[in-house]
Every structure is written in C-alpha cells, then in structure tokens.
Amino acid sequence: MSAKISIIGAGMTGSTTAHWLAEREIADLVLVDVIEGMPQGKALDLLEALPVIGKDVAIIGSNDYSATKGSDIVIITAGIPRKPGMSREDLLTINAKIVGEATTNVLKYSPDALFIVLTNPLDTMAYLAMKTGKLPRERIVGQAGILDSARMRSFVALETGISVENINCYVLGGHGDEMVPLTNRSNIAGIPLREYLPADKLEAIVNRTRKGGGEIVGLLKTGSAYYAPAVAVAQMAEAILKDKHLIVPASAYLQGEYGLKDLFFGVPVQLGRGGMERIVEYSLDVDEKSALEKSATAVKESITVLQSLVKI
Ligand code: TXD
C-alpha cells in the first residue's frame, strides 16, 4: 500500500483506531508504544484477523520511532486517560511531556507528516504539538468534534427512534464540559431539532452530550471511551488520504476565525490531502457566540497552565 499511518500510543484508543483503519484498507499501519511487546502483540493479532475479512494491510508494532519513517499521517493517542473524578485538565502535566516528546520523535523520521492529536486535554495538546513541531496549522488537527457530534446524534436517535443516518448534529468549541452543541443547526432530515423536540428533551440531550465522555468514564471506571473516538479519527484520516474535502467538526488552530486567535478550538474544518484545508465560519446567534466565548476561555486557561509548565 502506498500510504502509511503511524499511531503513537497503542492503548485502547490507539489500537481501536488501528482496527477501524485496517477495515478501511487505506494505509499500512504502525503502532508505537513505550510498553515492550504490547504494540508488537496487538499489531500481530490485528494482522492475523485480516485474512478473515479479506483486507491486505501491513501492520507492525514497535517501541522505536524508526518504524514510523515516512508516515503520511501520525495519530497521537499516547498519554494517560481520565480516571473517575479526574478532569481533562488534571491530565495536562503528565500528558504534555508525553505529547511533546512524541512530536519531536515523529518529526525526526517523518518531517512532512500530517498530525491528528487525540490525547487530552485535546485542544491544549494539539497546541503543544503544533508549537513543539513548529508546524503550519494546515498540518495539524485535533479530534473531538466528530465524537461529540456523534454522541449527540446517538442521543437524538435514541429519543426519536429515527435512523442515525438522518440525524445531523454539530458540536463546536473546546473538548470539555463547556463544548457547544449547536441546536439550531442540528437537524433530522432537514427538520431543525428545535422544531422536532420539545425544549426540555433537547436540553437533556445537550447536557448529556456535554458530559458524554464523563458518562463513559463513570461506567468503565478504569479508562475512557475508545470505540467512538477511534472511529472518528479513522474518518478524519480517510478524508485526508482520499482527498475528500470533507467538512467535519474538529479542533483547529484559529487565527481570528470566530473572533478567536492563538488557540485550538472545535470548528467546522475541511479535510483533504493538504490536511486542514479550510475553516468554515457559521454565522451564530448571540447565545451561541457567548457559549463559544465561555468555552474558549476554558481552553485559554488550559493553554496558560501549559505555558507555565513548558517553554513553547
Ligand atoms: O476524543 C478524544 N480526543 C479522546 C481522547 C477520546 C478518547 C481518549 N482520549 C485521550 O487519549 C485520553 O484522555 C488519553 O489522554 C489518550 C489515550 O487514551 P486511551 O484510552 O487510549 O489510553 P490508554 O489505553 O492508557 O493508552 C495510552 C497508551 C498506553 O498504552 C501507554 O503505554 C502509551 O499510551 N504511552 C506512550 N506511548 C508512546 N510514547 C509515550 N511516551 C507514551 N506514554 C504512554
């Protein structure tokens, strides 16, 4: 296969991303982790599944970044996940060191790779990777919006009994409890959600969406979500490799869009072979604007904490 994707961190999200990607048969895959034998074992297990589904993909695991040489896309999931009671910001100190090192190591072997960051706190880790790697903003995005929007879509489907395929939801803002589900742009087969659902039901869906990550953490107790985050990043990687010009919500570096600058923030972005090709700007009402500002304040605070820890 001509394309190559490396996944840094072969834990739950990283290995599940490899699974979804292998099924799509769009690139050879490399899993990298610090735990000896673990990425090799998971890669071999996944490779041995491929004859059954008839997919030809090379998959290797390694503890050494040299295996990632010449990657088109690098997906960063290395770090620790949230434990119950832990906020995404609690993760910052530990994960900043891991993501910073991973970025530097990746660039030694793949100086032109596009980056998709997943490690939390997501928007701050994407910021760190961009600054550490001195990357132009086109080359780096964070995954959060597809996941948060998919959660909202699932909850609307559960409430209405209508196919998820008919349900379009858009969640913007930072990947935290202040994220902004856009209820007046979300719709069911073109019918605005606000018209379809009574206000109390819609509010319950918005609240559940905002706390969607925490709900899973509370149930799993030993880690955070991975099936849905992983398929979301697989969709982003596919859009890039196939040059689809697909517009999805994702975390991108803003330079004045939505009145914000110098932060990563969830906005609609267009993905293609050039990476983050375009940021789409919605016209927002007063409530949406103030909700986004609140969310941006939370992300900026996290970046300030980062800047006090790391020189970037
Ligand atoms: O939507 C999103 N953005 C997210 C983000 C959805 C799900 C998970 N999200 C975050 O991704 C989560 O909060 C964590 O910060 C990361 C990874 O979550 P995951 O659930 O995959 O955690 P695991 O299973 O613990 O896997 C992390 C792996 C583990 O195997 C470690 O050994 C490895 O990361 N790790 C490293 N790999 C390479 N290099 C270094 N330095 C390293 N340190 C740890």
pLDDT of residue 249: 98
CA of 67 to the centre of ligand 1 (A): 19
Q: What is the pLDDT of residues 106-145, one digit of tens each?
A: 999 999 999 999 999 999 999 999 999 999 999 999 999 9
Which atom number of ligand 1 is nearest to the Cα of residue 125? 15
Share of the chain above pLDDT 70, in %: 99
| pLDDT value of position 91 | 84
- Give the number of other CB atoms < 10 A from CB of residue 79: 23
Q: Look at residue 83 and tell me whether its pLDDT is greater than 80.
A: no
Q: What distances in angstroms separate CA 258 from CA 62, 141, 267, one per listed residue?
A: 41, 17, 9
Residue given tokens 């760190």 in the structure block:
128
pLDDT score for 186:
97
**Per residue in 18-76, pLDDT tens?**
999 999 999 999 999 999 999 999 999 999 999 999 999 999 999 999 999 999 999 99
Determine which one of 22, 175, 226, 234 is catalytic. 175
Q: What is the pTM of this model?
A: 0.97
175 is catalytic: yes
Q: Render pLDDT for 215-256 as a digit per residue (tens, 0 to 9).
A: 999 999 888 999 999 999 999 999 999 999 999 999 999 999
Strand ranges, E, within the chain: 4-8, 28-32, 59-62, 73-76, 114-117, 140-142, 167-168, 171-172, 180-181, 187-188, 191-192, 246-255, 261-272, 275-279
